[in-house]
């Protein structure tokens, strides 16, 4: 029995057990125990002759354990999943390489897992089978006449930012320079420009994909429109390997924009700022793109309620006086310990927002969309939990973010079913997030992840059951419902049409229809 057919049986069994055909095989499974010896699918080691055959077909070659370069290339960015190492890595430089690797995987009964920027929060670009490393496919070109930007399947946010910086046009993306456009755009793509310029996936006008049958297909509104629909929110790793994307360009603001950053300390300020920010978003114009967050910091002999740092920041595509009026409610909470309100060049702001992930660390994100402000009592409860965060050192702690980029007129000009990204009509995205060093005692990660689950428990009664598919979390009980809601049925149909043997899969992958 091949690993693929056994995996399919496992999946079918769990779907049947649930009676609904919706959840992934390990929905609800905590992942701190994931290791190369307790994998969620069976591993089959390909013989070296089979790998030699694959290597001849891939222009970038194949890396196996023991080869120079295998170690760093096999590691994901999120250290939490570093124990899952592949049997081999196919270094694909183009669509022909990808097609050869996909066909070889199907023939040899190994799952092909694509790795772009490697930043999946749930380790979905790790696998004990074959990784298709597409990181060299990072080209960026702009066609000003057509008003489009075309990228390789794994240009990073940083590549796109560097290419466009200082120019007249840009593509709204995410904040982390190391995130790949494949993972980002296939699941949505939110950041400091989403509120006024849209989700990355909403700007996609075409893509090239290698599907499970090894075919290279062009997708657009007029070619394979069903699969194109699925690639605008249906998340990476489900339908094939996207080797190229084309997006509509947005004009970069010519005049200076406005920027603010305010900081406070203490649990009381945290509760007031988060609640005020929540209300502020209800009428926020598209031009305001902002976040608020509170973090549990080292107590250092003081009071746990005092050791909470609070921050709100954002950009406004407009004059500073208007931004001053919009953020006045935040200033009215209490005078910040630190206040920045200034004009600056658009590109300087983008450089300032761009960040990197902490090396040698593990993360555990989870998220919940809110359609309207949550009650002040719930905000108080969240802040009380923040005060009780089980780890509060500089590199192991928890924080709570409210990402106010995800609603508004621009994102909501699409209906919930118009693309596979369903989460329209939302006010903010609540995101409890944790970080800890890779070499910490495993109990640290477990404690912090139980803590994020408790945060979601507070949010749940006040929010629709919807989570951002690009912040996947293996502890979500009904992940596919939460990521795709009413779009899930159509996604399963499209998956079944284009990948009938479920070649592309992960612990929260979209299943095929059985029978």
- Between 190 and 458, name the residue whose CB sits nearer to ligand FAD: 190
- Between 118 and 266, name the residue whose CB sits nearer to ligand FAD: 118
Alpha carbon distance 106, 112 (integer Å): 8
Write the interaction track for ligand FAD spanning residues 204-243; mark x where CB under 6 A is met and - where it is not. --------------------------------xx---xx-
Q: Does 117 bind ligand FAD (CB under 6 A)?
A: yes
Q: Does 86 bind ligand FAD (CB under 6 A)?
A: no
DSSP string, 431-453: EEEEEEETTS-HHHHHHHHHHHH
The H or E element that residue 479 is part of is helix 479-484
Q: Does 105 bind ligand FAD (CB under 6 A)?
A: no
Contacts with ligand FAD: how many residues (CB under 6 A)?
35
The H or E element that residue 171 is part of is none
Of the residues 51, 171, 179, 480, which one makes contact with ligand FAD according to CB under 6 A: 179
Do 428 and 463 touch, CB atoms closer than 8 A? Answer: no
Chain centre to alpha carbon of residue 408: 20
- Between 183 and 336, name the residue whose CB sits nearer to ligand FAD: 183
Write the interaction track for ligand FAD spanning residues 290-319; mark x where CB under 6 A is met and - where it is not. ------------------------------
Closest CB 47 distance from ligand FAD, rounded Å: 25
DSSP string, 74-134: H--SSGGGTT---SEEEE--SHHHHHHHHHHHHHHT--EEEESS---TT-TT--SSEEEE-
- Which 421-480 residues touch ligand FAD, going by CB under 6 A? 470
Alpha carbon distance 10, 3 (integer Å): 10
Q: Which stretch binds ligand FAD (CB under 6 A): 85-93, 116-124, 302-310, 390-398?
A: 116-124
Q: Does 483 bind ligand FAD (CB under 6 A)?
A: no
Of the residues 24, 25, 112, 153, which one makes contact with ligand FAD according to CB under 6 A: 153
- Between 188 and 336, name the residue whose CB sits nearer to ligand FAD: 188
Q: Which residue is nearest to ligand FAD (CB)?
A: 183
- Between 440 and 510, name the residue whose CB sits nearer to ligand FAD: 510
Q: Are strands 130-133 and 112-115 parallel, antiparallel or unpaired?
A: parallel
Residues paired with residue 312 on neighbouring β-strands, in sequence order: 262, 292
Q: Which stretch binds ligand FAD (CB under 6 A): 86-94, 176-184, 254-262, 439-447?
A: 176-184
Q: Does 190 bind ligand FAD (CB under 6 A)?
A: yes
Do 469 and 476 touch, CB atoms closer than 8 A? Answer: no
- What is the C-alpha R_g of the chain? 22
Of the residues 24, 46, 172, 180, which one makes contact with ligand FAD according to CB under 6 A: 180
Residue with tokens 């790949």: 180
Q: Does 369 bind ligand FAD (CB under 6 A)?
A: no
Alpha carbon distance 349, 410 (integer Å): 21
Write the interaction track for ligand FAD spanning residues 493-512; mark x where CB under 6 A is met and - where it is not. -------------x------
Q: At what angle do helices 376-387 and 267-282 cross, to 10 degrees?
A: 140
Q: Does 122 bind ligand FAD (CB under 6 A)?
A: no
Print the SS3 string covering 244-281.
EEEEECEECCCCCEEEEEEEEECHHHHHHHHHHHHHHH
Residue with tokens 């013989």: 47
Chain positions contacting ligand FAD, by CB under 6 A: 113-121, 124-125, 134, 153-154, 174-176, 179-180, 182-184, 186-191, 236-237, 241-242, 357, 470, 506
């Amino acid at each position: 029995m091949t690993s693929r057919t056994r995996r399919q049986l496992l999946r079918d069994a769990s779907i049947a057990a649930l009676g609904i055909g919706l959840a992934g095989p390990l929905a609800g499974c905590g992942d701190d125990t994931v290791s190369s010896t307790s994998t969620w699918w069976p591993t089959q080691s390909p013989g070296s002759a089979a790998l030699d055959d694959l290597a001849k077909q891939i222009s970038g070659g194949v890396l196996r354990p023991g080869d120079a370069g295998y170690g760093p290339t096999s590691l994901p960015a999120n250290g939490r999943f570093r124990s899952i190492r592949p049997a081999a890595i196919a270094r694909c430089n183009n669509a022909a390489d990808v097609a050869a690797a996909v066909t070889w995987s199907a023939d040899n009964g190994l799952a092909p897992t694509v790795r772009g920027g490697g930043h999946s929060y749930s380790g979905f670009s790790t696998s004990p089978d074959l990784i298709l490393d597409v990181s060299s496919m990072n080209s960026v070109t702009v066609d000003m006449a057509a008003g489009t930007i075309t990228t390789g399947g794994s240009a990073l946010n940083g590549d796109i930012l560097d290419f466009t910086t200082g120019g007249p046009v840009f593509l709204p993306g995410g904040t982390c320079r190391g995130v790949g456009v494949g993972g980002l755009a296939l699941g949505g793509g939110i950041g400091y420009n989403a509120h006024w310029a849209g989700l990355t996936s909403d700007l996609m006008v075409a893509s090239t994909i290698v599907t499970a049958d090894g075919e290279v297909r062009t997708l657009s509104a007029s070619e394979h429109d069903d699969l194109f629909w699925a690639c605008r929110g249906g998340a990476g790793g489900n339908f094939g390997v996207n080797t190229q994307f084309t997006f509509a360009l947005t004009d970069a603001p010519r005049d200076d924009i406005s920027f603010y950053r305010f900081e406070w300390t203490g649990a009381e300020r945290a509760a007031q700022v988060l609640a005020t920010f929540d209300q502020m978003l209800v009428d926020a114009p598209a031009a305001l793109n902002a976040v608020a967050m509170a973090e549990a910091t080292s107590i250092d002999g003081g009071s746990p309620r005092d050791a909470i740092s609070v921050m709100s920041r954002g950009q406004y595509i407009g004059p500073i006086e208007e931004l001053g009026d919009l953020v006045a409610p935040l200033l009215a909470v209490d005078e910040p310990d630190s206040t920045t309100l200034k004009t600056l060049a658009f590109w300087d702001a983008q450089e300032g927002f761009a960040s990197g992930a902490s090396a040698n660390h593990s993360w555990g994100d989870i998220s919940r969309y809110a359609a309207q402000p949550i009650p002040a009592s719930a905000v108080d409860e969240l802040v009380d939990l923040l005060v009780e965060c089980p780890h509060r050192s500089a590199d192991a702690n928890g924080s709570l973010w409210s990402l106010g980029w995800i609603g508004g007129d621009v994102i909501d000009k699409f209906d919930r079913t118009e693309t596979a990204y369903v989460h329209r009509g939302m006010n903010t995205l609540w995101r409890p997030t944790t970080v800890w060093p890779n070499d910490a005692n495993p109990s640290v990660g477990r404690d912090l992840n139980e803590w994020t689950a408790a945060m979601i428990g507070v949010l749940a009664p006040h929010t629709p059951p919807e989570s951002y598919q690009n912040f996947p979390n293996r502890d979500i009980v009904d992940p596919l419902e939460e990521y795709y809601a009413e779009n899930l049925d159509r996604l399963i149909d499209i998956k079944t049409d284009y990948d009938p043997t479920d070649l592309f899969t992960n612990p929260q992958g979209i299943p095929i229809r059985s029978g």
